[in-house]
Amino acid sequence: MSTAISTDLFTLTEDHRAVREAIRDLAEHEIAPHAADVDERERYPIEAQKALTAAGFQAVHIPEEYEGAGADAVATVIVIEEVARVCGSSSLIPAVNKLGSMPLLLSASEELKQQVLPSIASGEAMISYALSEREAGSDAAAMRTRAVRDGDDWVLNGTKCWITNAGVSSWYTVMAVTDPDKRAKGISAFVVHADDPGFVVGSKERKLGIKGSPTREIHFENCRIPGDRIVGEPGTGFATAMATLDHTRPTIGAQAIGLAQGALDVAIGYIKERRQFGRHLAEFQGLQFMVADMAMQIDAARTLVYQAAAAAERGDANKTYLSAAAKCLASDVAMKVTVDAVQLLGGAGYTRDFPVERMMRDAKITQIYEGTNQVQRLVMARALLK
């Protein structure tokens, strides 16, 4: 038996390192300067969208056959991580494009893929994901939005909530009930365009964080769409939705890692400069222990996120467990690290003069969306005990 060990086993490829270098440079020069204003004014980060699109980073996961870059899942989470490191709101541009388009990549007809995906790849359009409802959050199978066949068309009625980038996106992947007697197996997936008759966007939610990314309800009022806009076969929508999350929960983990790393970077810079009692704060052992723990936790979470992203793309048997674990661990780490970063800056950290309070507010949502961390633990336990 060979005992040779590949020294490259736990390192990123040259291509992945090149992606990180390119997106970090773009994020620091084109996105970071606007991050505070985006948060303060609760405005969409149009500068980030333009910069990401110009560089081809707004939807790097779209395969080449649909005019995309064809980046793998690890490259995609690197992009999201590096954008989140400077602006959580802006990181939702590539993250939500993957979330909204993944059901098509997994289950749509070739004709529907060709109709929608090239516009996402080019940046001409964005795509959002519509699963949740007010009375069907964690229990998504309890949704009430209905889709009824009418001749060659489908007619949708109902309301979806918590839709990220609603009003900015042109396309929406929507889950709706087509057979109410079958519960989860009576749910189907559809693609709706913002110009479809009967599609209405609600007002923006007033949020704690990620204020630059609009979150709205979307309403379907006898919304009529062509019959070929169904994703897969009728009744397969819920299965597609759950399979999608295996691929996209690592992207939330990546967003969380980026927020945590950005906060740690600021905190380290601050304590190396700030002096108290005649010494730099970085010379006090208590604070040294804090930054050591923060960095250790980030590195552990990052490794799990990359592992989960790769496992989902390969279709590994444990992908559901790993994706839930990566999202759960990374978001818990992000919340702890950003809180500790505020603490390290003291009173300054509690002000808007420094970005750590924004990063702390942005981090909270990573423990909630795409399944709360309590739900993630249920998903992990079921995978382990089945």
Q: Which residues are catalytic?
A: 370
Pairing, β 171-177 against β 127-130: parallel
Residue identified by tokens 């690197």 is 78
